[in-house]
């Protein structure tokens, strides 16, 4: 008689759930009407993004990348104070007990030869993004606006982000304008030290690239690839997204997935 053997998943890999994640959404205006991302829709305010994700798009996790703007910080405070949004112990905010929001800030860095790239900083806690906003205000011309030129290199920006407790992900890495490969370097070690490269958990491919292109670069084999909407309007949210397997939707779990650790992973 054959004996049935029950497969037991390794610790940390049991009962994973699938979540839809768009990790790059911009803010067009603050609640008060102040401009944040000049080229983005006026309807693209923080609360509208969260509502759109929950009720129209079915996006479970959203990375909002203009959260270092003081006006946006005020909007976040209002949502927390009203009880509509709550901080998560393991990082992130939960909107109406459904959508996990990760606070981010897209910045522009200055590289060799005056070339520029976009990088996104993500932070686990509201206090972190407030601290980053203060640091950013010393570097940029107008901290209220999106994707401002920091006048420092991506390597220097990483040091600031890392010290506060955040992570750095190169944005739309192959886009012809203002990206790592698009107009700055041919290889990542030309931009980041070996030690920093070990701490970058993922690369955002951008709308102009796909995994087929990225897979041709051996140096990217160790990185998780992200494909996001880079939405500049509400209808564009979720036009590109990731499917991520986590135990729970929070910053700590997402980071584990980006690092491909403990059974957490990006599957699509």
Answer whether residue 2 shows pLDDT above 50: no
Confidence of residue 11 (pLDDT cuts 50, 70, 90): low
pLDDT at 265: 96
pLDDT at 13: 59
Strand pairing report for 93-95 and 85-87: antiparallel
- The answer to the question of residue 177 being in a domain is yes
CATH code, domain with 150: 3.20.20.140
* pLDDT, tens digit, 9 for 90 and up, residues 208-229: 667 777 888 889 999 999 999 9
- The answer to the question of residue 183 being in a domain is yes
Q: Which of 1-15, 37-51, 143-157, 221-235 has the lowest mean pLDDT?
A: 1-15
| CB burial of residue 198 (10 Å; 0-12, 13-18, 19+) | exposed
Torsional sign, CA 9, 12, 18, 23 = negative
- The answer to the question of residue 61 being in a domain is yes
Please indicate whether residue 14 or residue 110 has the higher confidence score (pLDDT): 110
Share of residues in the chain with pLDDT > 90 (%): 82
Burial annotation 7-35 (CB, 10 A radius, 16+ → b, else e): eeeeeeeeebeebbbbbbbbbbbbeeeeb
pLDDT at 1: 45
Mean pLDDT of all residues in the chain? 93
Answer whether residue 107 shows pLDDT above 80: yes
Q: Which two tokens stand for residue 111?
A: 């590289």
* pLDDT, tens digit, 9 for 90 and up, residues 233-245: 999 999 999 999 9
Confidence of residue 102 (pLDDT cuts 50, 70, 90): very high
- The answer to the question of residue 4 being in a domain is no
Share of residues in the chain with pLDDT > 70 (%): 94
- The answer to the question of residue 233 being in a domain is yes
What are the beta bridge partners of residue 243? 20
- The answer to the question of residue 11 being in a domain is no
Phi, psi of 67 (to 5 degrees): -85, -5
* pLDDT, tens digit, 9 for 90 and up, residues 167-203: 999 999 988 888 998 889 889 999 999 999 999 999 9
SS3 content of the chain, % helix, strand, coil (to 5): 30, 25, 45
Torsional sign, CA 148, 149, 153, 157 = negative
| CB burial of residue 216 (10 Å; 0-12, 13-18, 19+) | exposed
- The answer to the question of residue 2 being in a domain is no
Q: Nearest Cα to 123, choosing from 76, 71, 53?
A: 76
pLDDT at 12: 54
Q: Which two tokens stand for residue 176?
A: 């012809």
As a whole number of angstroms, the distance between CA 263 and CA 256 comes to 8
pLDDT at 5: 52
Q: Which helix (H) or strand (E) holds 168?
A: strand 167-170
* pLDDT, tens digit, 9 for 90 and up, residues 41-66: 999 999 999 999 999 999 999 999 99
Domain count, the chain: 1
Domain that holds residue 67: 17-266
- The answer to the question of residue 38 being in a domain is yes
């Amino acid at each position: 008689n054959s004996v049935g053997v029950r497969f037991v998943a390794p610790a940390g890999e049991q009962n994973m759930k699938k979540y839809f994640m768009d990790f790059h959404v911009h803010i067009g205006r603050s609640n008060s009407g102040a401009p944040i991302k000049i080229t983005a829709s006026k309807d693209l305010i923080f609360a509208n993004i969260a509502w759109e994700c929950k009720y129209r798009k079915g996006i479970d996790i959203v990375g909002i990348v203009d959260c270092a703007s003081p006006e946006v910080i005020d909007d976040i405070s209002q949502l927390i104070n009203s009880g509509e949004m709550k901080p998560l112990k393991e990082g992130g905010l939960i909107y109406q007990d459904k959508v996990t929001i990760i606070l981010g800030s897209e910045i522009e860095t200055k590289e060799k030869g005056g070339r520029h790239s976009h990088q996104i900083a993500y932070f686990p806690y509201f206090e972190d993004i407030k601290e980053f906003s203060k640091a950013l205000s010393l570097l940029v011309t107008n901290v209220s606006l999106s994707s401002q030129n920091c006048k420092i290199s991506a390597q220097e920006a990483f040091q600031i982000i890392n010290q506060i407790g955040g992570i750095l992900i190169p944005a739309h890495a192959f886009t012809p304008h203002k990206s790592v490969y698009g107009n700055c370097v041919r290889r990542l070690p030309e931009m980041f030290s070996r030690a920093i490269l070990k701490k970058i958990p993922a690369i955002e491919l951008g709308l102009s690239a796909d995994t087929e292109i990225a897979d041709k670069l051996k140096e990217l084999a160790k990185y998780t690839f992200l494909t996001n909407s880079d939405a500049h309007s509400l209808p564009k949210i979720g036009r590109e997204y990731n499917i991520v397997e986590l135990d729970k939707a929070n910053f700590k779990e997402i980071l584990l997935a980006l690092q491909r650790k403990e059974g957490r992973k990006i599957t699509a």
